[in-house]
Amino acid sequence: MVDWDEHAAGWDENAAVREYAAAAFEALGGQLAARGLALADLRVLDFGCGTGLLSESLASVCKEVVALDPSEKMIAVLREKIERAGWNHVHAIAQTLQGALEGDRLRPPFDLVVCSSVCAFLDDYPGTARQLADLLGPGGVYLQFDWERDDSEDEPYGLAREEIVAALTDARLEGVRVDVAFKRDVEGHAMQPLLGIGQRPPTG
């Protein structure tokens, strides 16, 4: 199991991490625009936010951002950013999803739930996807970024496309689709993670 507290201090200094977050934000905006949604109108849950690189970009345009991560030190980094920027509309919570739900700290509904490079680390990915989808309001969008697993590797990591489709379909989301999110070359390393997306049905 990864101890994310150990990575918190230098996480934002990694060029690949920064490029990934920027590309994810760009891809996210494009996906929402294609569905007729504007980020400025949205209340967002950034699940597994880490030090908040994606949360920062969301905060610059969104109505409200709730950033959730179980790593106290990762959240501490984000809280420093929130304080420096004076963001009253960004809330950083250092808890597991279950803990936040039991403590009634998330206050659904959300218009968007985004998970960036976190789902492959979950003990129960399908179950968590269902819980997150249930936090969406009618027409709300669930969107995740994850590496595609290559089972030919000695130690395969990530998620298969069919796993993502199955989990989001089981979470009762509509219009489920999985594709390459973006393609970037960083220091000679090609990044092309998957994007999984689904939308909660509208009422009536």
- Give the tens place of pLDDT for each residue, 110-132: 999 999 999 999 999 999 999 99
Domains in the chain (CATH in brackets) are: 4-199 (3.40.50.150)
φ/ψ (deg, to 5) at 197: -140, 145
Percent of the chain scored above 70 by pLDDT?
97
Tell me the residue length of the chain.
204
Query: Nearest Cα to 34, choosing from 201, 164, 203, 197?
Result: 197
- pLDDT digit string (tens) for 92-107? 999 999 999 999 999 9
How far is residue 31's CA from residue 20's CA, in Å, rounded to a whole number?
Answer: 16
How far is residue 90's CA from residue 78's CA, in Å, rounded to a whole number?
Answer: 10
How far is residue 172's CA from residue 11's CA, in Å, rounded to a whole number?
Answer: 34
Strands (E) across the chain are located at 43-47, 64-69, 90-94, 110-116, 136-146, 174-180, 184-186, 189-191, 194-199
